[in-house]
Amino acid sequence: MELYPLKFTPIFKERIWGGNKLQTLLGKDIGVETPIGESWELSSVEDNISVVSNGFLEGNDLQELIEIYMGDLVGEEVFEKFGLEFPLLVKLIDANDDLSIQVHPGDDIARERHGAFGKTEMWVALDGNENSRLISGFNRDTNKDEFLEKLENNTLVDLFNFETVKKGDVFFVPAGRVHAICAGNLVAEIQQTSDVTYRIYDYDRRDSQGNSRELHLDLSLDVIDYTKVKDTKINCESKENEPVELVSCNYFTTNRLLINKPLGRDYYSIDSFVIYLCTEGSCQIGEPDGIKETMKKGDTVLIPAALNSVEIIPFSEKAELLEIYIESELD
């Protein structure tokens, strides 16, 4: 049988800083009262592999699909490079409190230390409040010695570049950049498939058993980029019914689509899967003469590489989606 737009069962992650917006604003069926910080929408991280929730492939996990369909699912070039590992991890993050100040290694160090990929990521703000902000890099050039001195004196905050956040804002966070999502933010995160995080500072918080979370200062010191950050917030124009590029890097390309009428998208020129994440409104998506899937705010759909085109039909006055894929290295 032919492939079709695939939906997956979200994987919910309890976090000490989590809240309830995934349920109240995005309608996620969480089923527990504990604070949930993350919904892993699409993942092939070990022990956290997404499982199909629609169609005849329901119940199969993402790695099984790659093993069966190979390039038809992810693209020939993607399959040749990544094998059975899906190269991207898509999350929704609800920060009811500040996340830890952290950094991620690049590919070389992550591979050497952990046998894993590095972690370059991006954020798109889905909701916030008038005080929402985040940390992205340093506000001036610094170095390891000053960093440690500030950490010892509890004045590390003096070095950080704080960014105000409003709904729709886009941020790019390359590996090596110190960062933290702060309280009040609901964001979509697109990243390399990696769960390697070095926590630098966690506000001396304790979990329900009174335990502090593990820090990784020694590992982080030779990973951090100590230079002043530039252009952390992406300036992007707003256009209707055509893609607007938000981020294009070695690991993924992400476009924003704001549509108020049926829109066709062709993928003949890319050798990749395409992920759609609905950030506003609702729509229907699928091949013009094939199986279609309904999406609402917070839903994620994977379009297999074998589907060369889709039609997106908004149900609401307008629908907004993120469109994510991997550019061919042969272009």
Rounded Cα distance between 274 and 218, Å, is 38
Judge whether 1 lies within some domain: no
pTM (predicted TM-score): 0.95
| Residue reference for tokens 């964001």 | 187
The pLDDT of residue 306 is above 80: yes
Judge whether 51 lies within some domain: yes
CATH code, 214: 2.60.120.10
Judge whether 177 lies within some domain: yes
- Angle at 101 (CA atoms; ends 221, 28), nearest 5 degrees: 135
Judge whether 19 lies within some domain: yes
Residues 238-250 as b/e (b if ≥16 CB within 10 A, e otherwise) read: eeeeebeebbeee
Rounded Cα distance between 234 and 266, Å, is 26
**Residue 71 and residue 24 share a domain:** yes
**Residue 147 and residue 61 share a domain:** yes
Active site residues: 199
Q: Which two tokens stand for residue 295?
A: 């999406």
* pLDDT average, residue stretch 268-275: 94
* pLDDT average, residue stretch 126-146: 94
Rounded Cα distance between 155 and 308, Å, is 53
Name the 3-class secondary structure at 145.
helix
Amino acid identity for residue 21 in this structure: K
Contact 213, 199 (CB under 8 A): yes
- Cβ contacts of 287 within 8 Å, gap of 6 or more: 4, 307, 309, 310, 311
Query: What is the structure's pLDDT at 208?
Result: 67
Judge whether 36 lies within some domain: yes
**Residue 208 and residue 110 share a domain:** yes
Query: CA 206 → CA 84, 124, 219, distances in Å?
Result: 37, 29, 22
**Residue 110 and residue 54 share a domain:** yes
Query: What is the structure's pLDDT at 230?
Result: 86
The pLDDT of residue 209 is above 80: no
**Residue 289 and residue 157 share a domain:** no
Residues 148-184 as b/e (b if ≥16 CB within 10 A, e otherwise) read: eebeeeeebeebbbebebeeebbbbbbbbbbbbbbbb
**Residue 144 and residue 110 share a domain:** yes
Query: What is the structure's pLDDT at 330?
Result: 54
Contact 322, 124 (CB under 8 A): yes
Amino acid identity for residue 193 in this structure: T
Of 172, 202, 206, which Cα lies nearest the Cα of 187?
Answer: 172
Judge whether 23 lies within some domain: yes
- Cβ contacts of 135 within 8 Å, gap of 6 or more: 101, 160, 161, 162, 163, 178, 179, 180, 182
Judge whether 237 lies within some domain: no
Q: What is the number of domains present in the chain?
A: 2
**Residue 198 and residue 257 share a domain:** no
Judge whether 209 lies within some domain: yes
Residue that is last in its domain, among 205, 220, 235: 220
**Residue 191 and residue 157 share a domain:** yes
Contact 118, 192 (CB under 8 A): yes
The pLDDT of residue 210 is above 90: no
| Mean pLDDT over the full length of the chain | 94
The pLDDT of residue 39 is above 60: yes
Residue that is last in its domain, among 220, 252, 271: 220
Q: Which two tokens stand for residue 262?
A: 């049926």
* Percent of the chain predicted with pLDDT > 90: 85
Contact 164, 132 (CB under 8 A): yes
**Residue 47 and residue 175 share a domain:** yes
**Residue 212 and residue 64 share a domain:** yes
Query: What is the structure's pLDDT at 203?
Result: 81
At 233-253, the pLDDT tens digits run 998 888 999 999 999 999 999
- Please, is 269 exposed, middle or buried when counting C-beta atoms within 10 Å of its C-beta (0-12, 13-18, 19+)? exposed
**Residue 210 and residue 64 share a domain:** yes
E strand intervals along 7-130? 11-19, 36-42, 44-45, 48-49, 88-95, 101-103, 121-127
Residue that is last in its domain, among 185, 205, 220: 220
Which range marks the domain in which residue 39 is found?
Answer: 11-220
**Residue 183 and residue 108 share a domain:** yes
Of 274, 272, 269, 284, which Cα lies nearest the Cα of 254?
Answer: 274
